[in-house]
Structure 1
Amino acid sequence: MSPGVRRLVAALGGFTATGVLALSAFTGASAAGATPVSAGALAPTYVETHALARSSAQVAAVEAYWKPERLKSANDFPPKTADPKPDGNRSSAAARSTAQASPATTAAATGAGQWTVRPAQASRSAAEPRSGKKASSGAAAQAPKTVGKVFFRIGTQEYWCSASAVRAKNRSLVATAAHCAFDVRSGQPVQDWIFVPNYRKGEQPDGIYVGHTLVVHSRYAWEGDYDYDYAFVAVHPGFKWQAQKDAKGAISYRRVSVGRLQDNVGGQGITVNRGNTVKAVALGYPAGPQPGGSRPYDGHTLRSCSGTTRKVTAPTYRLDRGIAIKGCDFTAGASGGPWLVHYDPAKGIGYLNGINSLSWNRVPDGKNDEISSPYFDHTTRSAYNRAQSIATG
């Protein structure tokens, strides 16, 4: 690894790669714990599906875990960062055999083989989106209701990341970073995963959506390959916690159903094989400290940065085909937030062409100066198509 790479790569939630950090996560064969999801759209072997909460009892347990009191303090949980390599108990032979099922795309340089799904507007009225000035790493010009936070648990520790709703046949699909939904150390998906779109300081104006099924690329799940640090999560119909007072003024909460995600907030489009050089807007909820220790972000406000992407590589993270936006100082918490091309700030919609994955500190000035995403190609399309075919109720 070159000296420049040693000091520049930091996972978008906070690892500073001053030493050697080898990540690991994924295999083409089904990983331990991978659960087939009924007969539906056939998917390549490198597309893995993992159950999150399927039965009504499992969904009820996740909902009960994220009661209003816990949600209000959730911003104090640590943002999720990139994972270290698996614990060594996983099959490297299986990982190698799977890698052959997902060859590197040849379209990255030219943008050949482009494929696009158009965005969808919400079919129900909802709260007015927030507004702010458009600036690099500043408040989003039009804070889209599709973007929000995901909250989850790994063991006894709660975490959070950023994410966005994506247009899908099941009208119930969320895109985020794979490290925000799958724990490579245990080789299992995270627990108690929920999505809160249009997040507002602990409030849930457009509902809470419990994860039903996670779809990831096996190269991430077994090898920690950050060329595939993306995930799609099919979610259950949403609900809200509605406060109510009894005769003595004591406040309690009741669950109120709100319907499907896309009906409430719409969904970003998605596009793949756009080439290494595109104009993109990145969105997310950064919160962690900069490399120098300053904390310019609090994780409560949706932020944006934009620019023309370029190709980047980082051997430490097995990243061979990443794309990056220069001049973006996002920190921990922005992981999983969307990269949108052809973004319309007046409508808050565009086409998903990446996600916040890794942050970079190229210049030793105490702050991050670049973010990167895996390159969206035919493998991303396969994962998306599998996820949008999952019926969630």
Structure 2
Amino acid sequence: MKRLLIPLAAASLSAAALALPADAAPDWVTDNLAPKPADAYGVANFWLDADGAALRKATQYHWDAKDVSKLVATQSKDGSPDGKPGLTAPTGTTGKPARAQNVNLPKTIGKVFFLDHAGNYRWCSATSIQSRHRNLVATAGHCVYETGKDVYDKWVFVPGYYQGKTPWGIYPGAYAFTAYDLDTYDDYDGDFAFVAVHNGFALSGQKQVTAKEFKAWAGDKWTKPRQISAEEYAKCVLNLGECWSEGEDKAADIVGPDHPDAVVEKTEVDEKTYQDAKTGRGQGFKFGEPVPEPVSKADWDAYKGLGKKGEDAYGNFTITHFYTQKWIKPGTSRKYYEAQYFIGMAKDMGRLGDVVGGQGFAWNQPRGQKVTVFGYPAAPHPDGDKPYTGVTPKWCSGKTGTKTYQVNTFRVEEHQVLKCSMTPGADGGPWLMKYDNGKRTGYVNGVTSMFHDQDGNDRVDFISSAYFDGEVADVYNKANYAETKSIVGPNGELLN
């Protein structure tokens, strides 16, 4: 893998992470996503608003299913380790290991959501990974960086995501770490990223407050209008409240039936006036047929209106009403409103690794390792068949290839591969070595980068990942030092 780029300075990173020998060139690159709590809160609220409407609107990262590339095996059978193999142990949140025949889904996996530069709502697959501050997400580099250059907007991780629901909270990205190869050359040998995320939080409803409380609130807040009477409006103005009026009081005008704003009203008349009226469309014309109304004897006796009173041989009493047309342009009335103040309540969910655990990390491992790969496939195969929905996670299991592979169109020289039919949407999903089905933990030894059709039948049959060598481990180690914090306080308030 090529040498990585000198990073941008980040004041919030630990000084230990930045300490390097004077003659050594740093071999990692980082970019800010939303390091400030206020920005991170706004990003998360963008996705959570309207009961997760934006989350449900998102589609998988766009990959042209008609342009699935082929792999070319190289001569190397040993891969390309650049040092000794290494492992970082996972952390879990599960209890006693369970015995199961099927593959148990890890609690750490989920989706990352972001806006691409065209404004499209997108998602990829990802996992929580063990780190010093229990705040790190592993995914594909192209799920964080667009064409290897700039980071995506409004980037968040949602573990356990399902149809707009965020069961363990939403975790806004703070800092992204990736390879110079991807950042500069869009080289998929470096198609991986580690993202340090803030503490997760969940929205927990709304609360109506006073104007003073509203002004002091640092979190999400909004006003709603409430219609009030003219008397309430006068009182509100007197007390210097936030109130306003709209429209004007204006009486209705008599107009012809052809007036563009005309509406017809019925006017009750006596029987003679109704019978003398014409049938048709116009002022004073008959309005429908006479309308008989059954009434009680008491109402019949008390009635003094224009209708015709009637009684049949069985003692049933009726009043028949007669109507003519009246065409008017409706009047208007002034309406009065006052503001109601609401604040959005939020709950701090804690650090990502404390909530869902974190997978381990492995590098410089021999080829031919057994791995279990998880992801949310959604796109169709090149032939148009669409076996996956992207709603629930799927998995593949097997041994990785013993050779390195090239994909010339993406500058790939040393990908590792696995026979698997998952389609795009699984991008960024973890390749877990030594997966313990009971503990639901393993070691991230790759992330899904590309999809391939080796036998030419227009079906994805292989997926590939960047080979995790010592330089990937170096990027991981630098991301390991990135510190983040809570963005909402114990009362749901936004922290500084």
**Corresponding residue for 1:65?**
46
Amino acid across the alignment from 1:280: V
Alignment of 1:161-240 (within 5 A): 161-184=124-147, 187-240=149-202
Q: 1:74 aligns with which of 44, 48, 55?
A: 55
SS of alignment partner, residue 41 of structure 1: helix
Cα distance, 1:382–1:363 mapped onto 2, change above 3 Å: same
**CA deviation string 1:21-64 (max 9, x = no partner):** xxxxx984447xx4535433137533101011111221122122
Amino acid across the alignment from 1:242: S
**Corresponding residue for 2:379?**
288
Q: 1:375 aligns with which of 458, 467, 471?
A: 467
Corresponding position: 1:332 with 2:424:
yes
**Corresponding residue for 1:114?**
85
Conserved in 1, the CA contact under 8 Å of 2:78 and 2:367?
A: no
Structure 1 segments (4+ residues) deviating >6 Å: none
Q: Residues of 2 paired with 1:109 and 1:376: CA distance?
A: 9
Conserved in 2, the CA contact under 8 Å of 1:120 and 1:266?
A: yes
Question: Is there any run of 5+ residues in structure 1 with no aligned partner, and where?
Answer: 1-25, 84-104, 135-140
Amino acid across the alignment from 1:303: K
Q: Superposition RMSD on alpha carbons, in Å?
A: 3.0
**Corresponding residue for 1:318?**
411
**CA deviation string 1:159-210 (max 9, x = no partner):** 100000001001100000000001126x211111000011222211111100
Conserved in 2, the CA contact under 8 Å of 1:215 and 1:383?
A: yes
- 1:283: Cα distance to partner? 0.4
Cα distance, 1:202–1:312 mapped onto 2, change above 3 Å: same
Q: 2:122 aligns with which of 159, 171, 189?
A: 159
Q: Which shows bigger deviation, 106-115 or 251-260?
A: 106-115
Conserved in 2, the CA contact under 8 Å of 1:46 and 1:219?
A: no
SS of alignment partner, residue 212 of structure 1: strand
Q: Which shows bigger deviation, 42-51 or 352-361?
A: 42-51
Amino acid across the alignment from 1:336: G
**Corresponding residue for 2:397?**
306
- When normalised by structure 2's length, the TM-score is 0.62
Conserved in 2, the CA contact under 8 Å of 1:152 and 1:192?
A: yes
Conserved in 2, the CA contact under 8 Å of 1:75 and 1:300?
A: no
Cα distance, 1:296–1:336 mapped onto 2, change above 3 Å: same
Cα distance, 1:107–1:387 mapped onto 2, change above 3 Å: farther
Q: Residues of 2 paired with 1:301 and 1:132: CA distance?
A: 19
SS of alignment partner, residue 125 of structure 2: strand
- 1:242: Cα distance to partner? 2.6
Amino acid across the alignment from 1:51: N
Q: How many equivalent residue pairs? A: 330
Corresponding position: 1:258 with 2:221:
no
Amino acid across the alignment from 2:34: A
**Corresponding residue for 1:390?**
482
Q: 1:36 aligns with which of 10, 23, 41?
A: 10
Conserved in 1, the CA contact under 8 Å of 2:432 and 2:445?
A: yes
- When normalised by structure 1's length, the TM-score is 0.77
Q: Residues of 1 paired with 2:385 and 2:61: CA distance?
A: 19
**Corresponding residue for 1:275?**
366
Higher Cα Rg: structure 1 or 2? 2
Q: Residues of 2 paired with 1:110 and 1:235: CA distance?
A: 29
Q: Residues of 2 paired with 1:110 and 1:216: CA distance?
A: 19
Cα distance, 1:245–1:287 mapped onto 2, change above 3 Å: farther
Q: Residues of 2 paired with 1:109 and 1:211: CA distance?
A: 31
Cα distance, 1:36–1:108 mapped onto 2, change above 3 Å: farther
Amino acid across the alignment from 1:36: A
Conserved in 1, the CA contact under 8 Å of 2:115 and 2:121?
A: yes
Conserved in 2, the CA contact under 8 Å of 1:27 and 1:220?
A: no
Amino acid across the alignment from 2:134: R
Q: Residues of 2 paired with 1:213 and 1:238: CA distance?
A: 15
- 1:230: Cα distance to partner? 0.4
**CA deviation string 1:187-243 (max 9, x = no partner):** 211111000011222211111100010001111111011111000000001101234
Alignment of 1:140-159 (within 5 A): 141-155=103-117, 156-159=119-122
Q: 1:366 aligns with which of 434, 458, 475?
A: 458
- 1:312: Cα distance to partner? 1.7
Cα distance, 1:106–1:361 mapped onto 2, change above 3 Å: closer
- 1:332: Cα distance to partner? 1.4
Cα distance, 1:106–1:189 mapped onto 2, change above 3 Å: farther
Corresponding position: 1:348 with 2:414:
no
Cα distance, 1:303–1:259 mapped onto 2, change above 3 Å: same
Cα distance, 1:179–1:132 mapped onto 2, change above 3 Å: farther
Q: Residues of 1 paired with 2:30 and 2:81: CA distance?
A: 31
Q: Residues of 2 paired with 1:179 and 1:321: CA distance?
A: 17
